[in-house]
């Protein structure tokens, strides 16, 4: 599905879902743009951060990857949109090969693996914590092993480059991108925790000179005030809003609970809630 979408549409918006309910909400949203044309999200991002938070666990690859894949299968009953799966490092190669086949069987469109190793530290910490990059050759081998394990070659494998997160120079990121593409990566995600998009835009311009047609992904969590048009003009194909539904739902539940505790009046929070009938009819 993602391959077809990329061939027909230049600019794609993906958003995180962490449950069948959130997948249903994303699938059902269809609003008119300024010209009256229908506007909806193009696909879903299955985030390891969101899945960990939902299960009350730290985002350290503690949550079993296969249980997360099965969780995606539950969400797929409520959406027809392509799903990109966040597999963290992908684990060791033998496990990655088996998990890749499971992802392919259930119909995941793409998986993104990041080129770090050791105890996972969330990338948004940047280099305030030790971010250990994987050896280029080892990570390239993982990409090649994943590609070889596919039965139908429908599932795409994207490489997520963590050089900028780890405080490495731009050249390191570009060298890694080139090696991963040559190893068979179907797309590249460049990650940054800077407050502006300068370095990811710089990466995109340089990457596009060598690879004009390889899908390029960005995640504007920290550089959130960057207009999407700037990112697309720089050469990105996919923008992922990676954790906003889980974060907004956390805040909404917290605010509602505090208000109910403060006043004891359910009427005080009704304006923040959808009607009971909408909840009851959502999955009929």
Active site residues: 59
Start-end of H helices in the chain? 2-8, 20-28, 48-54, 65-75, 93-106, 136-149, 170-183, 198-210, 228-234, 244-263, 276-281
Measure the N-to-C terminal CA separation of the chain; round to a whole number of Å: 26
User: For position 32, what pLDDT does the model report?
Assistant: 93
pTM of the model: 0.95
Is the pLDDT at 172 greater than 80? The verdict is: yes
Return the domain boundaries, the chain. 2-242, 244-284
Distances (CA, A) of 226 to 40, 231, 268: 20, 8, 36
Mean pLDDT, rounded, of the chain: 95
Report d(CA 66, CA 53) in Å as an integer: 17
User: For position 242, what pLDDT does the model report?
Assistant: 98
Phi and psi angles of residue 55, each rounded to the nearest 5 degrees, phi first: -100, 5
Report d(CA 43, CA 89) in Å as an integer: 22
Region 109-129 average pLDDT:
85
Architecture of the domain delimited by 2-242: Alpha-Beta Barrel (3.20)
Is the pLDDT at 130 greater than 80? The verdict is: no
């Amino acid at each position: 599905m993602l391959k077809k979408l990329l061939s027909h549409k230049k600019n794609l918006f993906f958003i995180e879902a962490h449950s069948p309910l959130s997948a249903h909400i994303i699938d059902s949203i269809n609003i008119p743009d300024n010209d009256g044309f229908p506007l909806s999200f193009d696909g879903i991002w299955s985030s390891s951060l969101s899945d960990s938070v939902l299960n009350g666990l730290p985002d350290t690859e503690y949550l079993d990857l296969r249980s997360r894949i099965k969780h995606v299968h539950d969400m797929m009953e409520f959406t027809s949109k392509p799903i990109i799966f966040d597999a963290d490092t992908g684990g060791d190669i033998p496990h990655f090969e088996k998990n890749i086949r499971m992802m392919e069987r259930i119909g995941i469109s793409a998986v993104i693996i990041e080129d770090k190793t050791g105890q996972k530290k969330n990338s948004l910490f940047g280099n305030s914590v030790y971010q250990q990059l994987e050896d280029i050759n080892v990570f390239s081998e993982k990409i090649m092993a994943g590609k070889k394990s596919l039965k139908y070659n429908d599932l795409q494998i994207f490489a997520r480059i963590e050089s900028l997160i780890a405080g490495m120079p731009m050249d390191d990121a570009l060298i890694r991108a080139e090696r991963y593409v040559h190893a068979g990566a179907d797309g590249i995600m460049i990650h940054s925790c800077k407050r502006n998009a300068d370095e990811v835009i710089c990466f995109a311009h340089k990457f596009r000179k060598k690879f004009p047609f390889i899908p390029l992904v960005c995640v504007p969590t920290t550089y959130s005030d960057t207009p999407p048009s700037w990112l697309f003009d720089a050469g990105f194909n996919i923008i992922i809003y990676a954790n906003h539904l889980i974060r907004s739902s956390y805040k909404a539940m917290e605010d509602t609970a505090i208000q109910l505790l403060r006043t004891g009046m359910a009427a005080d929070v009704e304006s923040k809630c959808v009607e009971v009938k909408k909840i009851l009819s959502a999955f009929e």
